[in-house]
Amino acid sequence: MEICEAKIEDAAIILQIQKEAYVSEAELHNDFNIPPLTQSLAELECEFNNKCILKVVLNGKIVGSGQVKLNGSTSHIGRMAIKGNYKGLGIGSKLLSALELAYPEADRVELFTGINSKANLNMYERRGYRRIKEETLGKTTVVFLDKVLNTANKQINQDK
Distances from the Cα of 159 to the Cα of 47, 126, 128, 155, angstroms: 29, 24, 22, 6
- pLDDT single digits (tens) 97-122: 999 999 999 999 999 999 999 989 99
First to last CA, the chain: 16
Q: Which domains does the chain have, with CATH numbers?
A: 2-159 (3.40.630.30)
Read off the pTM: 0.90
- pLDDT single digits (tens) 34-87: 999 999 999 999 999 999 999 999 999 999 999 999 999 999 999 999 998 898
What are the strands of the beta sheet with 130-137, ordered from one edge?
2-5, 52-58, 61-71, 74-82, 108-114, 140-148, 130-137
Output the pLDDT for position 154.
47
